[in-house]
Structure 1
Amino acid sequence: MVEQANEFPFQANEVIPNHIAIIMDGNGRWAQRKFLPRVAGHKEGMNTVKKITKHASRLGVKVLTLYAFSTENWKRPTDEVSFLMQLPVDFFDTFVPDLIKENVKVNVMGFVDQLPVHTKKAVEKAIEDTKNNTGMILNFALNYGSRSEMLEATKLIAKKVQENQLTVDEITEETYSEALMTHTLGKYQDPDLLIRTSGEERISNFLLWQIAYSEFYFTQILWPDFDESVLEMAIGVYQSRHRRFGGL
């Protein structure tokens, strides 16, 4: 359900979601509507990431997870994939100084070892450069797919059982969560609010375990047009909801 812009106004003094996850969708359509190549949409989307990161941090969000590249995105045209693999290099090269000023820490989850060397190096350098920051965690899902993540977690747990480090009865929700890529986020690993832009209303293999009790917000706005006011709009809708977690 896509809710009206002014239906639930943002309240700065109300609860702010600790963890916001965003499926950044619509870069290609934004470019096509402006008769530009698709890569122009991805470039503009990178500027949106910068704006939203700063604003989320200043609002008091603890973790901002952005779905940057999925394990399925390798199926896209080679030129577009190459551009997308260069984006983290350009992004971190220009934005890390701002992240340090904002006290934002970079985290990346996904199958990073499968990335091109230049992309992997840029990611590792950004993590290293911001490792001492104590504010919001900017968590990129890069070469990430939730089903693959859960398969790897299952294999990890099975190996521990096989090696007598864990019994079957000791496998709990907590055990499983600790085996997932989000375990480094600690108590904030499950998103409070999931946002998807561009009007699509599907999850696209993103954080399937972690969003069991997340609130969803879908907007028609394309990612390059997503700004601070739209983020506050989504949070306003979140603030209007009563999260019951299966209770009353």
Structure 2
Amino acid sequence: MADRSKSSEGAHGAEIMPRHVAIIMDGNGRWAAERGLPRALGHRSGVEAVRRTVQAAIDLSIPYLTLYSFSSENWSRPQDEIDDLMGLMKRFIRRDLAELHQNNVRVMVIGERDNVDHELQVLIDEACELTRENTRLNLVIAFNYGSRSEITRAARRLAEEVAAGRLSSADITTDLMTRALDTKGVPDPDVLIRTSGECRLSNFLLWQCAYTEFVFLDAYWPDFGRELLLEAITQFRGRERRFGGLSCRSTA
């Protein structure tokens, strides 16, 4: 079920903080290119931006933060870049997991496990298991993730339930479909931020973003941190979220 907090449903944006912030972390390569640096250094600087953003979300008491770290389409990149990205993910878990756990952060990873090497798979499972009872921040990492694939897998699971006689096709509702997605139990994003000036979703949380506010920033991801997060939240708070209803200022 799409989970909207009482503070946000039907309320004017200026009165609320987002419960769930989702971010498409874009622009590492262009950030590096503009500085005459290898793309790998752009990705490594992007990891520092992740650390700053996670800490800012903790400081601002944002309950859910979802980061688009590696899409299912990213496998088409050069192999050396893929290897570097996989290595960064491993190092991030090894270096930061203890601190995340100490800060009461729950780590969740959504996406497919295909093509992910065994060592990284083990690290992901360990991070999720170690932190699963934590409550201060839910850090959702979209890794090897594509929204169309997620929706297809959810539909396939429901079809299998119908074929097995455990479910009737008439029982399939939008709420049931939502609970079949990778993000089961996670509220829909209130605001989605994309860095680098690009204005598209790139196959990210297509189902979940039906009523999400979008904020597109020109800054590249390695330059992101508390200040730009607050800038995006300020834009969000200036919006009026109606969820298909009338404006609270409407006289109609």
Indicate the residue corresponding to 2:54 in structure 1.
Answer: 53
Structure 2 runs not aligned, ≥5 long? 1-13, 247-252
Residue identity in the other structure for 1:22: I
Which shifted more, 78-87 or 104-113?
Answer: 104-113
Q: What is the CA–CA distance in structure 1 between the aligned matches of 2:120 and 2:42, rounded to whole Å?
A: 20
Q: What is the CA–CA distance in structure 2 between the aligned matches of 1:126 and 1:197, rounded to whole Å?
A: 27
1:128 CA drift (Å): 2.3
Indicate the residue corresponding to 1:228 in structure 2.
Answer: 226
Indicate the residue corresponding to 1:74 in structure 2.
Answer: 75
1:129 CA drift (Å): 2.4
Q: What is the CA–CA distance in structure 1 between the aligned matches of 2:15 and 2:104, rounded to whole Å?
A: 23
Question: % of aligned pairs identical?
Answer: 46
Kept in 2, the 8 Å contact 1:88–1:123? The answer is: no
The TM-score, its normalising length taken from structure 2, stands at 0.90
Deviations 1:129-164 (A, max 9, x none): 222312111100000000111111111111111111
* Partner residue of 1:239 out of 230, 237, 240: 237
Indicate the residue corresponding to 2:190 in structure 1.
Answer: 192
Indicate the residue corresponding to 1:178 in structure 2.
Answer: 179
1:19 CA drift (Å): 0.7
Kept in 1, the 8 Å contact 2:108–2:141? The answer is: yes
Secondary structure (helix, strand or coil) at the match of 1:245 reads: coil
Indicate the residue corresponding to 1:20 in structure 2.
Answer: 21
1:124 CA drift (Å): 1.5
Which shifted more, 90-99 or 64-73?
Answer: 90-99
1:85 CA drift (Å): 0.8
Residue identity in the other structure for 1:217: V
Kept in 1, the 8 Å contact 2:23–2:193? The answer is: yes
Q: What is the CA–CA distance in structure 1 between the aligned matches of 2:206 and 2:140, rounded to whole Å?
A: 16
Kept in 2, the 8 Å contact 1:201–1:218? The answer is: yes
Q: What is the CA–CA distance in structure 1 between the aligned matches of 2:126 and 2:164, rounded to whole Å?
A: 35
Q: Aligned runs of 1:140-151 on 2, under 5 Å?
A: 140-151=141-152
Between the two proteins, the alignment pairs up a number of residues equal to 233
Q: What is the CA–CA distance in structure 2 between the aligned matches of 1:112 and 1:57, rounded to whole Å?
A: 28
Kept in 1, the 8 Å contact 2:193–2:216? The answer is: yes
Root-mean-square deviation (CA), in Å? Answer: 1.2
Q: What is the CA–CA distance in structure 2 between the aligned matches of 1:55 and 1:244, rounded to whole Å?
A: 28
1:97 CA drift (Å): 2.2
Kept in 2, the 8 Å contact 1:22–1:65? The answer is: yes
1:126 CA drift (Å): 1.5
1:14 CA drift (Å): 4.4
1:88 CA drift (Å): 1.3
Secondary structure (helix, strand or coil) at the match of 2:183 reads: helix
